[in-house]
Amino acid sequence: MGKVFKIEYPVTGKIAALKLLDPNPFLLSLLGKEDIEEMFTREAVTMAGIRHPNIVDILDFDRFDGKLYYIMSFYCNNLGLMIGEGYETDHESRIVPVERALFYSIQTLKGLSRLHEDGIIHRDIKPFNLLVTDFDTVKICDFGLSKLRGEIRKDPESLKIGSPHYAAPEQEKDPDSADARSDLYSAGVMLYRMLTGRLPMKPVASPSQFNPDLDKDWDDWFLRAVRRKPEERYASAGAFVEALETVKGMWLQKKERICSAPSLLFGEHDTVKAPFAIRSKPEKISRDKASETFHVDHLMRPFHFMDNSFIRLSPDVIFDEATNLLWQVSGTRFPVNWENAHQYIGRLNRDAFHGYKSWRMPTINELLSILSPLPKGEGHCADPIFDQTQKWLWSCDRCTFISAWYMSLDLGFISFNDRSSYYYVKGVCSKP
């Protein structure tokens, strides 16, 4: 129904997102201009009327050249991009570590709890409608399909409300029958997908079949959320949160048991020796050349991991004997855009950080050399080599003239985004 644009305010240069009402001709013929404008206006009013850390903020609403629009806060990440969900939704996606999956789900449910408190049913909870801020806060967006509790809209039967695989069965059958439990079903599908990399197809398989970090005893906690009958699901978002907090506690206990037990050789993975030299010069590499250039799979994860030999030279610098590269342990204290990332590297050289003046932004190939596989079993016990604040790292490589490549250190993949997006950067240099 609408198109979203990234905009820049004059003078201040502040980046925001603008959603423009621009329905396709079929929807226009189905509902009519007046109904569509009423739905769009209500979407903006609904979002603007709620103050909650897990609901996106609306900044302005107006009409331009005959078309309605509203402006909201801009965030460069969403959960759909993070798990690698594509247009063909039923394809495999990236698995999210247990703690992070619970973390994102609990935030989503807290946002839903706030909506449901006001009698608002979202009806389109899915990964792409969950924005993720620079500081890992989930923000629910896109209220275009929302309705008030008990509201009957009488939309045309041919108009589908919700997204395939995420919409609850009762909502697909009768959109007006959707209630809070329908939103909880969608949140349950999203959690299942994060934990397993799959959608809960009928018959729904136990999540523990696909993720060795999950205990069979936990399956019912997850499966209850995706029961086909609403009365068999959690009664409220708050009840769902309580259940996930319980699972989180059990997970932390399991991790503690694993880490206190004798070594069982968990988390083995394929490693490779460093090539003669890892590419250090920035390049412009298009998306269709990424697999060949970076040696990654269709979900942008590396096929192999470096056989590193890290030596801590100081609290601020680590040396990898395998690649002859010096790395900052941390990097920028806060996320920065791509241009500011370059400026930060310039300051490292002006200050001769750790005695060197040859610091540079890493290439994607260099970043991939410090990436480890997602931890399993004893892998959760290892002390991290690098500061865990800097989870999303810029590279010096461009994808297009306006976008650059970055790496997720904790989720284990690479991708690209507009250079005005905000990620961290850490300096690298070759040891003389």
Residues tagged active-site: 124
| Concatenated DSSP letters of 173-233 | H-GGG--HHHHHHHHHHHHHHHHHSS--PSSPPPGGGT-TTS-GGGHHHHHGGG-SSGGGS
Q: How many CA atoms lie within 13 A of 313 on its CB side?
A: 16
List CB contacts of 301: < 8 A, sequence separation 6 or more.
94, 412, 413
62 alpha-carbon distance from chain centroid: 30
Please list the residues that pair with 51 across neighbouring strands.
Answer: none
Contact between 80 and 189 (Cβ < 8 Å) = no
CA distance linking residue 411 with residue 42, whole number of Å: 36
Contact between 412 and 269 (Cβ < 8 Å) = no
Q: What element of type H or E holds 21?
A: strand 15-21
Amino acid identity for residue 73 in this structure: S
Place of tokens 């108009």: 159
Q: Which two tokens stand for residue 336?
A: 């920065």
**Beta-carbon neighbour count of residue 131 at 10 Å?**
23
Contact between 390 and 426 (Cβ < 8 Å) = yes
CA distance linking residue 333 with residue 323, whole number of Å: 26
